[in-house]
A and B are shown apart, each in its own frame.
Chain A
Amino acid sequence: MIRFDSVSKLYTSNPRPALNNVSLEILKGEFVFLVGASGSGKSSFLRLVLREEKPSKGDIHVLGQQLTTLSSRKVPYFRRNLGVVFQDFRLLPQKTVFDNVAFTLQVIGKSKGFIQEAVPDVLKMVGLSGKTARFPHELSGGEQQRVAIARAIVNKPAILLADEPTGNLDPATSQGIMTLLERINLGGTTVVMATHDAGIVDQMKRRVIELIGGQIVRDERQGGYQTQSMPIQTFGMAGTDGEASL
């Protein structure tokens, strides 16, 4: 589904790599948490999967495509198989809930009939069927994030990328979002979620990949936010150091 082979990412302005020789594989149907301090490379990882950036070194395969050689012309078509959710929702303020979700389908050329069927379905799934005519500013944060999730999954993507989707939400609302993401995952969609929310990670008991300074320091099935296995504890210290030096 997603495979990184010794991937490094360097930004020109920064001598320290955002990702340093990262190799990993994420399988179909997995639910993966990406944890680590700010600047540890989580967002770079997601941007690389989305092919918003190209790696400086190494190969990335996503959904059978080698992203390093994928031509820019084909990138849009590749992205149609991915859904993305952000901390700041990124909804269009002048469009209603329905239109925000429909917009995704319109711009990739789906028919009116398909949109009329798919959008109410997905809004029902995220629990917003009664609010299709509202504008984003009339909704709570949790509801706005549900709209964003609906927009991300309306095209039935194989992979859902979520960059701190609960970062702006209170714990109870976050819980609702996680339940929704879990349901989406049960439907067969691979979910990769970058987060700082220890409570959620600990409670969900899913695969956890921890990044520090652009390197994978932990890849644990059914892990928690803090590692349970002893020897790697020291890396936690290294992480704190790394953050302090930023």
Chain B
Amino acid sequence: MRFGLVMGEAASGLRRNISMVISVILVTFISLTFVGAAILLQLQIVQMKGYWYDRAQVAVYLCTETQATGNCAQEEATAEQKAAVEAELTSTDLAQYIEKFEFENHDLAYQNFQTFLSDSSYASFVKPEMLNESYRVNLKDPSNADVLIESLSGLAGVESVVDQRKYLDQIFGILNAASYTAIGLAVLMLIAAVLLIATTIRLSAFSRRRELGIMRLVGASNRFIQTPFILEGVFAALIGSILAGGAIVAIVQFFVRGYLTTALPSTTALIGLGDALLVVPVLIVLGGVLAAASAGFAINRYLKV
């Protein structure tokens, strides 16, 4: 009986305020879509980090005839120098951090170069001896790369020691910036959404001020008076959040899975539908809670006399 009455009041409020309700729905829809996109970007970053950090190596580049940087003096690294590096890598100090390491000689480096960078403009000038020989080290924990850099970069015949994760960090930086932009936009839109909900509820309360006055007079509890208004706000926001959830799933399904997977090399780890479905409940809860809070706040201020 009471439940029905409360729902009836909420429904009549929604009907009376239909244009405001639609704008609330649209604004929550857009803002939560931004929130969802930001979360997806973060998930994508985590995913890529997980994938690439495991494969990222520390490369110990050895000197070539042409180089004068690092410890090089335009001389090819000698066999003794290589042996010294290798000895250092197998020493007990470093071995505990290292999973495995490989040696990449000029020919192998040239092969790899041709495979990955064959279409670059200087590919035709490059000769095998111009490319550094290197030790490719896989670490047990990639974050310990500094230890290797410190102990190896001083050795004779070593041109440089590079943590490949640095290259990835640039990509992550870009993705991070994109997700922060999305969050920033989302916050602005959410503020608009919250204010819009508060205004809508106040309008709705104003149009029902006669009933409210009588309710207060005959002793309807505050909770009973508030609930229909809060439900009204939550209902509108929930529709918006569900739409936003749908949009997020659609983006992942059609853009990420449908377009990006074919457009990008197959090694790129992309988020899947599972991640999108993880985001949807977050959006719905966020929308509902924000709407309930702002509607409750709005009607509370209206009730106080």
**A residues whose Cβ falls under 8 Å from a Cβ of B:** 50, 52, 72-73, 76-82, 84, 90, 92, 103-104, 106-109, 111-112, 151, 155
Contacts and interface: CB of A to CB of B under 8 A. Distances in A.
19 contacts: A52-B305, A76-B219, A76-B221, A76-B222, A77-B221, A79-B218, A80-B219, A90-B213, A90-B217, A92-B211, A92-B214, A103-B211, A104-B218, A106-B2, A107-B215, A107-B220, A108-B219, A109-B2, A111-B1
Q: Which bracket fits the contact residues of B? A: 10 to 19
A73 B221 CA distance: 8
B2 A80 contact: no
A112 to B, nearest CB: 5
Contact of B217 (A84, A92, A106): A84
B224 interface: yes
B214 A106 contact: no
B210 interface: yes
Contacts of B225: 107
Interface of B: 1-2, 5, 210-211, 213-222, 224-225, 305
A92 B220 contact: no
B45 to A, nearest CB: 48
A182 B181 CA distance: 72
A79 B217 contact: yes
A92 B211 CA distance: 7
Nearest to A95: B211
B214 A90 contact: yes
Contacts of A81: 219
A109 B214 contact: no
Nearest to B9: A107
Contacts of B2: 106, 109
Contacts of B1: 106, 109, 111-112
Contacts of A112: 1
Given A52-B305, A107-B215, A151-B218, 17 more contacts: A72-B222, A76-B219, A76-B221, A76-B222, A77-B219, A79-B216, A79-B217, A80-B218, A80-B219, A81-B219, A82-B219, A90-B213, A104-B214, A107-B225, A108-B219, A108-B220, A111-B1
